[in-house]
A and B are shown apart, each in its own frame.
Chain A
Amino acid sequence: MKKILFALLAVAQLGCVDVAEERAHRDETVGQAKVGEATFVIVDGLGAVRKIEQGTLSIWAKAPLIQVVATRGENAPAEWDLTVTNALADADIRARIPDNSSFDAVAFPGGLPTEKRWRVTLPLGTTTMLIGPRVEPVGPWRFALLSDVQEAIDHVQDIYTRINADPDVTFVVSAGDLTTQGTDEQLDRFQHELESLRVPFFPTLGNHELGTERGAPFQRHFGRASFRFVYGGMQFTFLDSGSATIDPLVYGWLDGWLAEGRQRTHAVLMHIPPIDPFGVRNGSFANRNEASKLLAMLAAADVDLTLYGHIHSFYAFANAGIPAYISGGGGAIPERFDGIGRHYLTVDVDPERGILQTAIVRVDPD
């Protein structure tokens, strides 16, 4: 009966053109939590609140540096056990606090390479905690792109082992399709597998994360689908294209993010590429004209790099003159006859000179 109801709901939704609106509105609520007289807001939604109880706060970080605005009332506890998962190894905590008050943080060892734990003492009023590295790279650094794992989760450790073996990789970004259906169980499993990865993993969602509650479990686990952060002189803008479109609300955010990124090296990531290099396949936006609208926006803002997933192979091309890479090599049903196989991408960046080089790392050549 449940399956029939879902099928009827799916039919009823045929023809809805605002398909990503609900997720965009959910993005606006990510990173906010309240218990008693204590509230916590992660600035720009760059983290998901995993757990909050009196005196306990657990966060999944969605960026190398996050800011948590804590407001403590008189009846809220001063001491909080703060756990931040998915953090850089050199992440630290400091705070901006009201005048005539004090902030204290005692570090405890985390259980994972990317887990940080502190016992913080919050003053009354509003405190802004900054969690992340105190210094960012001034020379070349590297990040990796890994997408489209899906049913290959049983073998994903092969890929993590290769990434861990590269000491230059600072973090991994992902263009989505971590799971086949986006269920809580599958996302839990994905996070469990991530525990062996020594660097943080910052994903947007893919269309396969929309197979359950239209993407809500992803946002509960891994936070926003559309967001941006800056690290090492480079801006990363993640867009939710899981429905083969960008919601108008996200276009509104994108205007501001593109303006911010104009003076920086700027990479834009999303799951479904605006244009499929093989157009008859339609592994692209539902509307070719919307694809061109988006690419025109990115080109006008001098975006330096576009990164995509969705197509389970590797393609290097240009869209609107912007270098573009499709890397869907996480192991999901591979595109045959392409000679690619499982792989991930590495990108070397210099804060002054921009993108230095992009390379494909094959895990098991087809």
Chain B
Amino acid sequence: MRRLFLVSIASLLALGARSASAETGAPAAPAPTHGATATPAAPNDETMPADDTRAEECDSEQPRRSVALSAAGTALAIVPGALVHGTGHLVVGDTKTGLRLLALEGAGLGVLATGFIPIVLSGASRRLIGPAAALSAAGVGLFAISFLADIYGVVAPAGGVGAPMLNAPSLVAAIGYRYVYDPVFAYRNFMVQEIDYRTGSWRIHPSAWFAFDDTNARLRAHFAYRLTGPRPLGHPESPDGSFVDLEAAITRHAFTSNRFSTTTAEVAVAGRLDMARIGPSLRGSFAEMSAGLATQAYSYAIRGTTADLGELLLVRFGFGMYIGFPGNPRGEISLYYDHRHDDYAAGLKLTGLGSGVAGHFGADARLYLTRQWGVAAEAAVGSAYITGLSILFRHGGPL
């Protein structure tokens, strides 16, 4: 598992580091302020103050393009860009970034082949399937990220549409509603609560889902240690939004009306890379990848039964972009794939012969409208449709 993560992140970081050092000699700078003032705000100011004396001109790195050229780049980033990633950048003249995205695609295909070919040749042998499946999923992740990055880079305005927060809030509390349509379960409506507390490099993130219309509850305690990346105020600002976390979690999911419950313990490594490290046209976007392993126990409230034990491969990848610059409402939005098969969204169902193996897809968004208050939205599709909103309150957020 560690090898998988290192291969995947190393592919991204190697490209990113090479890019940053070659072009600027330093990690990529945050995005321009787009007209926001550089006046620091008072600590109790409820508006979103601008921070950012480090905002630099990056427009010079990314020449302005004509609308026609951008449109052509966007179209070609899709066809034939779906097969040859980086085509969009090559068309608009950003050869360096285009070739890096093409290399990232190649790395993804290589990792995919390294994982998938043994699966086919071994008939999904129990002796190979763990690392082989993880490599396959990671390869698909790199492939998807390079494709989406190519489109983003030719569509997004110079500097992107947002900048990362360089310090993490020390506390975020959320309460919200989720609608879950799973045809084989009775529940539909949930209240969701979570708290995300950070101190130094540590993070504690308990969350709970309670069904209004069924006796179903999912309680999760998630812990993380940040090896590198944004930490709460009081710690030095991170050069960008990139991070690497070590994660652990324990989840208890009670399906009382269905007479069973599950307990899951997991460990994972999770990372985010600001894509500006790959190329200036990708400023304001990021890629994420995580990998891990879980063990599960399924217990049945039925006399004479014994619990079933199992394992779960954890792989998640995503691509997103920051929204808003310092001094304005800020947040981020991302698309992701999650290989989990044990949460509400679970694995993807297909009408043909490929049902069951893949995990689910989703989109997350969160936007802080003021220094403390924000909203989050989520949608996912796997075995179920999930959609919903949460209200966010944070403390100790970046200024």
Contacts and interface: CB of A to CB of B under 8 A. Distances in A.
Interface of A: 10, 13-19, 21-22, 181, 207-211, 214, 242-248, 251, 272, 275-293, 295-296, 299-300, 311-313, 318-321, 333-338
Q: Interface residues of A: mostly helix, strand, loop or mixed? A: loop
Contact of A335 (B125, B262, B312, B381): B125
Interface in B165-217: 181-185
22 contacts: A17-B181, A211-B352, A243-B356, A244-B356, A275-B308, A275-B310, A279-B312, A281-B133, A283-B124, A286-B341, A286-B347, A287-B347, A287-B382, A288-B312, A288-B342, A290-B184, A290-B346, A292-B262, A296-B259, A300-B302, A318-B308, A333-B123
B26 to A, nearest CB: 40
Interface of B: 120-127, 129-130, 133-134, 181-185, 253, 255, 258-260, 262, 293, 296, 298, 300-302, 304-306, 308, 310-313, 341-342, 346-357, 361, 381-385
Given A245-B184, A278-B126, A282-B357, A288 B351 contact: no
A313 B311 CA distance: 19
Q: Interface residues of B: mostly helix, strand, loop or mixed? A: loop
A287 B341 contact: yes
A292 B260 contact: yes
A280 B296 CA distance: 11
Which of A181, A244, A277, A284 has the most chain B CB atoms closer than 10 A to its own CB? A244
Given A17-B384, A286-B346, A292-B260, 20 more contacts: A10-B352, A17-B382, A209-B353, A243-B350, A244-B347, A248-B183, A275-B298, A280-B129, A280-B312, A286-B348, A287-B346, A287-B347, A291-B298, A295-B308, A299-B300, A299-B304, A312-B123, A320-B300, A320-B305, A320-B306
A332 to B, nearest CB: 8
Contacts of B184: 245-246, 248, 251, 287, 290, 293
A362 to B, nearest CB: 16
A334 B356 contact: no
A210 B353 contact: yes
A333 B351 CA distance: 22
Contacts of B127: 337
A336 B361 contact: no
A321 B324 CA distance: 54
Given A15-B361, A337-B125, A280 B133 contact: yes
Given A10-B350, A244-B355, A17 B129 contact: no
Nearest to A276: B310
B342 A15 contact: no
A243 B134 CA distance: 23
A245 B349 contact: yes
B350 A14 contact: yes
A321 B262 contact: no
A211 B350 CA distance: 11
